[in-house]
Amino acid sequence: MDRLYLILTLFLLLNLAAGMWRVLRGPSAVDRMLASQLFGTTAVAILLLLAQLYEREALRDVALLFALLAAVTAVAFVRRLWQSHEHK
Amino acid sequence: MNISDYLSALLLIAGGLFFLAGTLGLLRFPDIYTRLHALTKADNVGLGLMVAGLAIQADSWAVVGKLLLIWGLVLLAGASVAYLIANGALKRGIRLWRR
Amino acid sequence: MLFDALLGLLLLGLAWLLLSCRDLFKAIVLFVAFGLLMAIVWVRLDAPDVALAEVAIGAGLTGALLMSALAKLPVDNPPGRYSNEKTHWLLPLTLALMLLLVASGLGYALWSLPVIAPGLSGEVAANLEQSGVSNPVTAVLLNFRGYDTLLEIVVLLLALLGVWSLNSLDATPATAEKPANLVLDTLMRLLVPLLILVAAYLLWAGANSPGGAFQAGAVLAAAGVLLLLAGWRLPTALAGLPLRLALVAGPVAFITLAALTLLNARLLELPVEHAGMLILLLETFAMFSIGVTLAALFLGQRPQERGGSA
């Protein structure tokens, strides 16, 4: 099982790296924002896998915090930036 | 490897495939709305499958509870953000993609 | 191994892209992604305490803070504004030389380090029993080197005072309040109580597993940020004395304890039998103050008081 966890974390990290292309490419601010939303979910999955792999409960707390705060940046984008700048 | 290991491996790999689908959607789909669909659906299902796979391996019910809580929170954030962004995009007149 | 190598490469690549990109919004998203990867790096370095702090600050505060700051900047921010300025060829050359010097100095320092550095972790482990807690990080932060934490909390307060004193410079009118949004409201109503609960959990867990006042305070602050984003404002009745009391509760608790321990002529040396209790008490006050201070920093200006001038 441990090998599977390792392979999957690597796979997810590669996924995240591929998503970086969308951040760089855009074209609009919303697209970049969406990509960073993807990173959040992927990071949660990576942390949960690592928690199981190393048997460290604390890593699940880190993932829990990620999940709790996943919306904050996007909400700030929608409520503050999008309105005032009309980033399209 | 016993039967539960195989089951959890299956779920984990399926979850990974959903993540791949989400990333592909983000990279390949033509407009905001379709990308939003790829992200907030595929990834959350992927995480759900992974959580299911890990829950089978968990040592205690407390861990299972925490895993489910994490998934629920990600679902909540994903759904809310998807709504806020799609709603904002519609209001700003970002047009839907047509073939 | 492969995972770590990829992680390191990604981090370096991100840092480079982030520093060299001229679109400020893109830079913010890259910075958020950088913080996220950094949290995973801390996990791989077996420092979950720092990872928790990184996530709480990076995901809960920095992104929102930077976005709000960008929203206040003038809209026309031409991407190529800096490219027209001609610089003399000597400037980049000098900079490159200086960077090379620093880099080689750092490289030399790293090279001359002993391969196995003992550090102080052995000493911490040996004295852990007297600290009142079983998480070595909390033991160091709140007991063995309590004055560090005291000063850090004061630094946060000073930062807020700086922001408040710049208040008059803020000429841009606040953006008009947007109408309440049902989905956002529901999200907030679900998340804010949970955030407060998790903050309490992190504070309590800090005694024997990763967590503690700073992480808990940052989570509280994230709850405040969410409330502010959803259009909530501090009631004017609370903006005067109550807010100030909340801001100084942590430093005051720390300083009181320092004064009391000074009576024994031992600054911040906690009595062994009460250490656990005292640490929890200190951390509670500190968490409260850190949370309020960070949320106030996000607000970016002194809240309107009843009857007084802003």
Residue B99 lies in a domain: no
Given a cut of 60, whether residue C177 has pLDDT beyond it is: no
pLDDT at C309 over 80: no
Q: Give mean pLDDT, residues C93-111.
A: 93
Please give the pLDDT value at position C126.
Answer: 77
Per-residue pLDDT reduced to its tens digit, C25-64: 888 889 999 999 999 999 988 888 889 989 988 887 888 8
In a domain, C301, yes or no: yes
Residues of A within 8 A of B60 (CB-CB) are none
Question: Do the Cβ atoms of C229 and A75 come within 8 Å?
Answer: yes
Indicate the number of domains in chain B.
1
Looking at residue C171, its pLDDT comes to 45
- Token pair listed for C36: 């996220």
**Burial level of C299, CB count in 10 A (0-12/13-18/19+)?**
middle
Residue contact C183–B76, C-beta within 8 A: no
- In this complex, is the C-beta atom of B27 within 8 Å of any C-beta atom belonging to chain A? yes
Does the pLDDT of residue C310 top 90, yes or no?
Answer: no
Compute the distance between CA of residue C28 and CA of residue C23 in angstroms, rounded to an integer: 9
In a domain, C68, yes or no: no
C63-72 vs C24-44: helix crossing angle, rounded to 10:
170
- Residue C100 confidence (pLDDT): 95
Residues C247-292: pLDDT tens digits?
888 889 888 888 888 887 677 777 777 778 888 888 889 898 999 9
Among B15, B22, B58, whose Cβ lies nearest the Cβ of A38? B22
Any domain includes C150: yes
Residue A88: what pLDDT? Answer: 43
Q: DSSP character for C85?
A: S
Percent pLDDT > 90 in chain C is: 17
User: Which C residues, 163 through 192, put their C-beta within 8 Å of a C-beta on chain B?
Assistant: 181, 183-184, 186-187, 190-191
Chain B residues 39-98 with a CB less than 8 Å from chain A: 39-40, 43-44, 46-47, 50-51, 54, 57-58, 63, 66-67, 69-71, 73-74, 76-78, 80-81, 84-85, 88-89, 92, 94
Exposed, middle or buried: residue C294 (CB in 10 Å: 0-12, 13-18, 19+)? Answer: buried
Helix axes C24-44, A29-54, angle to 10 degrees: 0
For A25-39, the pLDDT digits (tens) are: 878 888 888 888 888
Does residue C214 surpass a pLDDT of 50? Answer: yes
**Res. C235 pLDDT band, cuts 50 70 90:** confident
Lowest-confidence region among C157-161, C166-170, C185-189: C166-170
Locate A50 and state its tokens: 């690592």
Torsion of CA B86, B89, B94, B96, to 10 degrees: 10
Domain count along chain C: 1
Between C125 and A75, the higher pLDDT residue: A75
Residue C14: CB partners within 8 Å, gap ≥ 6?
A20, C30, C33, C34, C37
Which range has the worst mean pLDDT, B7-16, C166-175, C187-196? C166-175
Spatial separation of the C-alpha atoms in residues C28 and B72, rounded to whole Å: 27
Q: Which residue has the higher pLDDT, C2 or B11?
A: B11
- Put simply, the answer to whether A69 touches C187 (Cβ < 8 Å) is no
Residue B26 to residue C27: CA distance in whole angstroms? 19
pLDDT at C306: 59
Q: Does residue C99 form part of some domain? A: no
Query: Would you call B84 and C186 a contact, using CB atoms and an 8 Å cutoff?
Result: no
Looking at residue A27, its pLDDT comes to: 80
- Identify the residue whose tokens are 């890593």: A59
**The pLDDT of residue C299:** 82
Cα–Cα dist C294/B6, whole Å: 47
Domain span at residue B41 reads 3-91
C282 is a domain residue? yes
Q: What is the pLDDT of residue C195?
A: 92
d(CA C232, CA C216): 21
Answer yes or no: do A81 and C70 touch at CB < 8 A.
yes
> Does residue A85 register a pLDDT over 60?
no
Residues of B in contact with A35 (CB under 8 A): 26
Question: Mean pLDDT across chain C, nearest whole number?
Answer: 82
What ipTM was assigned to the predicted interfaces of this complex? Answer: 0.90
Query: Could you list the residue range(s) of the whole structural domain that residue C238 is in?
Result: 135-167+179-310
What is the full DSSP assignment across C141-165?
IIIITHHHHHHHHHHHHHHHHHHHH
Q: Which of A41, A42, A79, A81 best tests the B interface by mutation, with the highest count of B CBs <10 A?
A: A41
What contacts C305, CB < 8 A, 6 or more positions away?
Answer: C236, C239, C240
Handedness of CA A76, A78, A83, A84 (dihedral sign): positive
Residues of chain B with pLDDT under 70: 99
Residue identified by tokens 């052995």 is C122
Question: What average pLDDT score do residues C235-243 get?
Answer: 79
With the CA atoms of C211, C214, C220 and C226 taken in that order, what torsion angle do they form, in degrees rounded to the nearest 10?
A: -110
Amino acid at C62: T
pTM here is: 0.85
Average of per-residue pLDDT values in chain A: 85
Amino acid letter, C177? E
Distance, CA of B39 to CA of B22 (rounded, Å)? 5
Distance (Å) from the C-alpha of residue A79 to the closest C-alpha of chain C? 7
Q: Which residues of B touch C183 (CB under 8 A)?
A: 80, 83-84, 87
Percentage with pLDDT > 70 across chain C: 87
Q: Is residue B28 part of a domain?
A: yes
Band the pLDDT of C178: cuts 50, 70, 90: low
In angstroms, the CA C191 to CA A77 distance is 18
Tokens linked to A28? 């609009």
Q: C120 versus B30: which is more confidently predicted?
A: B30
**Rounded to an integer, what distance in angstroms lies between the CA atom of residue C30 and that of residue B45?**
25
pLDDT at C82 over 60: no
pLDDT beyond 60 at A87: no
Q: Which amino acid is at A43?
A: A
- pLDDT of residue C173 exceeding 60, the answer is no
The CA distance from C108 to C116, in Å, is 17
Each as own residue / partner, the long-range contacts of residues C149-157 (CB below 8 Å, 24 or more positions apart, any chain) are C149/C213, C149/C254, C149/C286, C150/C251, C150/C254, C150/C255, C150/C258, C150/C268, C153/C250, C153/C251, C153/C254, C153/C286, C153/C289, C153/C290, C154/C251, C156/C289, C156/C290, C156/C293, C156/C294, C157/C247, C157/C248, C157/C251, C157/C289, C157/C293
Question: What distance in Å separates the CA atoms of residue C164 and residue C57, rounded to the nearest whole number?
Answer: 21
| Residue of chain A nearest C226, judged by CA positions | A72
- Are the C-beta atoms of residues A32 and A19 closer than 8 Å to each other? no
- Cα–Cα distance, C160 to C303 (Å, whole number): 12
Residue B96 lies in a domain: no
On whether the CB atoms of residues C154 and C251 are closer than 8 A, the answer is yes
* Tokens (6 digits) for C125: 């482990």
**What pLDDT score was predicted for residue C180?**
65
Say what the pLDDT of residue C181 is.
Answer: 79
Give the residue, C74 or C220, on which the prediction is more confident: C220
Per-residue pLDDT, C77? 53
Extract the tokens encoding C207.
Answer: 């005694």
**Structural domain includes residue C274:** yes
**Residue A70: per-residue pLDDT:** 86
The three-state secondary structure class of C96 is: helix
